Structure 1
Amino acid sequence: MAPSASSEPPLPLDGLKVVEFTHMIMGPTCGLILADLGADVIKVEPITGDRTRHLLGMGSGFFPLFNRNKKSVLIDWHHPEGAKVARRLAASADVVAENFKPGTMGKYGLDYAALSKRNAKLIYVACKGFLPGPYEHRVALDEVVQMMGGLAYMTGRSGDPLRAGASVNDIMGGMFGAIGVLGALVQRGITGRGQEVQTALFENNVFLVGQHMLQYAITGKPANPMPERISPWGIYDIFTVAGGEQIFLAAVSDSQWATFCDALGFADLKADARYAGNNDRVLQRPQLMPILRRRLAERKASDLAALFERVGLPYAHINRPDQLYADPHLRATGALADITLTDGDKAGQTVQTALLPLTLDGHRLGVRENPPRQGEDTDAVLTALGYGAAEIAALRAAKAVA
């Protein structure tokens, strides 16, 4: 059952039909953003269901996070009759999204070249590992492109590359796909024609490390990994304080440095000409940081947080993701919403999920529909396409749909 309706204003993509041939994270993220913005997103799953429904460990949250506000149909598009259904469904859409290997969709007449002949207004977003070029046929994963694209090098320590702590390229790659769709919709409103949009994991990763590439182009020095980086700020660090707790503290401008020193009673440091400007403090970090670490070591993290909150300086406790469920800001602002789980041992239970980090006209984009049960919308979607009950039954009997 869907969450209860609200009195919120109409969503910007209300009435837009999206058919999504996607799996894992990148493609589903693209569809999620369009769905949260109001599009009618139909997720085409294999007969056995999207395999992210049953992943373990860090994959256990994939399906419920990236598939709310969508419908689910089960089509075996490897089956000739299933492929016909898939093509008919795709041709009826405003937008088709996919994230399979290059050439896969073309085998079934589900690529842009084939579908655009049937629907010239179609916008087709292909979420790939690489944009067209020498690497386009490589198998890509988020971790693969983090390694080859410099992000793992920047995240870990020297000699110990480390992937980022979230699926940053998958999620951002899907986000750029959705941005491309929005741009193509505007252009379609002008020209009356659709187009193909492509987004890719590797190129997304390159954009993320672009600042480090330009650092080298400008300074002639390769960027150090983040734990060993030359910070652009005098104070921008994690401090270990009383009881072994940790807290992040920062002062990134000269005015913040003055406030930092006044609040902590460091009049001597404020008066020291060696630390007068931010760049001075950056150059003096080898001398300044041991002093600050020593002076702050006996302070309580809670006291420092209260002090920095009061005087308006940047600070942060070091939290685990699970602790965010109790975060007072997230709870007060409606950043978390209830969904009902569809699979596994906790199927039917209600948990909270993170919403997109934006508001439209003061409203969060909420959960209109829970993540779909496997194939729960197959009959309704096929009926809307013009299939009769007997035709649907025959397709089920042939195992072309389920």
Structure 2
Amino acid sequence: MTDQPLPLAGIRVLELGHVVMGACCGLVLADMGAEVIKVERAPDGDDTRRFGGFGQGLFHFFNRNKQSLAIDLKSEAGQDVFRKAVATADVLIENFGPGAVERLGFGYEDCKKINPGLIYCSLKGFMPGPYEHRPSLDNLVQMMGGLAYMTGPTGQPLRAGASVTDILGATYGALGVIAALRERDQTGQGQNVRASLFEATGFLVGQHMSTAAITAEPLPPMPEGENPWTIYELFETANGDQVCIGIINDKHWAALCREMKLGVLAADPRFELEAGRREHKQEVISSLRQEIAARSTAEVLAACDAARIPFAPVNRPDELADDPHLNQSGALVDTVLPDGRPAKLPKLPLQMKDQGFALRNEPPAVGEGGANFLREIGYSDQEIADLVSAGTIVQPGD
């Protein structure tokens, strides 16, 4: 590791966001060194602190390396505090519903008057257009954006197994913020950066839009479509585990047969070349399934690795914490869960020189770090105490 400052050190970000999209954009900037102040609703903080089910891990994952300012933005005193915060910020992120921040008096035009150099990042369901008035969610745009159709079988659209459009839209928002900061270095002026769920989903399925345009035909869902390669399938081992194997050229086929000792298949002239394997797809896939089903998972994985072909076991998310590659590559960070138990979670998936984008502080409690931030922007201890007494801001333990 190096003592060199992180790339975004010295950049102050107000994250006026909630749930995933705003929090993820703030996470990307925070991990890269920005000072991120998570502006939460007083007195209870962000709703994801209390989510159940699949949402239980959202707050802890998306809010490391931040401080919390829990504030009543509907009060006159709270709005005055926030205006002073805006005046000191480099970036403001917001992902509230259409018109919500404008009704509070903190839309882009309002904040621009306070701080002309502010980079104001609006994360929405839709870009300006016929749909921009609609509230939206990750699941909904996966449906209307074609992603769910391409993921599930015909008649059963299926959302992806993670908040992919929230995360992608947030990442594009962060990319726009960084580009706008670079532009501000040259012009001195801030701007309104926009990113959205629906347009991010459109980008995700752009490859399918391109294929449909070329073929002039509607596409089937991916589970039912034709892969570019004959052998690009899930196979079950003798242990009952699933392994995905991709044979994308004839050298791969020869190598797999060699390492798995598939002499009969290797000698079959029908399967030697990709054209033959495609012509006799049912036979080659069926034969390969039988061979793999007779071998242990360890044998299959070792043979694929030795053959240097594309392959992957099917893992659950909880298994990734023990993955030897993720641990050795430094992709995981040690964290402490709210109940005190240790855990490993993914870092920002980037490497830059010796930067590790490490955990600097755990996700904050409601209001944790808020008082220190207010001191930095000019509030005295007595003024902060008065704000706490009035319920304008909340500190941990209040």
- Picking from 299, 303, 312, the partner of 2:299 is 303
- Corresponding residue of 1:153: 149
Q: Counterparts of 1:1-400 in structure 2 under 5 Å?
A: 7-47=2-42, 48-266=44-262, 269-270=265-266, 274-275=270-271, 277-278=273-274, 281-282=277-278, 284-342=280-338, 346=339, 348-400=340-392
- Contact kept, 8 Å, 1:231 with 1:282, in 2: the verdict is no
1:206-262 Cα distance to aligned partner (Å, 9 max, x none): 111111111111122322222212111221111012132221111112322232233
Aligned residue-pair number: 393
Task: State the distance in 2 between where 1:283 and 1:187 align.
Answer: 55
- Tell me, what secondary structure is at the counterpart of 2:393? coil
1:280-336 Cα distance to aligned partner (Å, 9 max, x none): 544543343223223332122210111111121122111111111111112222222
- Contact kept, 8 Å, 2:236 with 2:243, in 1: the verdict is yes
1:46 is displaced (CA, Å) by: 0.6
1:372 is displaced (CA, Å) by: 0.8
- Contact kept, 8 Å, 2:141 with 2:197, in 1: the verdict is yes
Task: State the distance in 2 between where 1:67 and 1:243 align.
Answer: 39
- Contact kept, 8 Å, 2:259 with 2:306, in 1: the verdict is no
Alpha-carbon distance change, 244 to 340 in structure 1, aligned in 2, over 3 angstroms: closer
Task: State the distance in 2 between where 1:270 and 1:91 align.
Answer: 70
1:250-276 Cα distance to aligned partner (Å, 9 max, x none): 111232223223333445655656545
Identity of aligned residues (%): 46
Task: State the distance in 2 between where 1:148 and 1:292 align.
Answer: 38
- Contact kept, 8 Å, 2:86 with 2:115, in 1: the verdict is no
- Contact kept, 8 Å, 1:234 with 1:251, in 2: the verdict is yes
Cα RMSD, aligned residues only? 1.8
1:124 is displaced (CA, Å) by: 0.7
- Tell me, what secondary structure is at the counterpart of 2:334? strand
1:138-191 Cα distance to aligned partner (Å, 9 max, x none): 121110011111111111111211111111011111111001011111111111
Runs of 4+ more than 3 Å apart: 264-284
Q: TM-score, normalised by structure 2?
A: 0.94
- Contact kept, 8 Å, 2:92 with 2:119, in 1: the verdict is yes
Range with bigger deviation, 378-387 or 92-101 = 378-387
Task: State the distance in 1 between where 2:275 and 2:92 align.
Answer: 50
- Contact kept, 8 Å, 1:232 with 1:282, in 2: the verdict is no
- Contact kept, 8 Å, 1:215 with 1:222, in 2: the verdict is no
- Tell me, what secondary structure is at the counterpart of 2:69? strand
1:42-85 Cα distance to aligned partner (Å, 9 max, x none): 11011111111121121111011000000111111011211111
1:364 is displaced (CA, Å) by: 2.2
- Contact kept, 8 Å, 2:119 with 2:191, in 1: the verdict is yes
Please tell me the residue identity of whatever aligns with 1:42. Answer: I
- Contact kept, 8 Å, 1:64 with 1:341, in 2: the verdict is yes
Task: State the distance in 1 between where 2:248 and 2:83 align.
Answer: 55
- Contact kept, 8 Å, 2:2 with 2:354, in 1: the verdict is no
Unaligned residue ranges in structure 1 (runs of 5+): 1-5
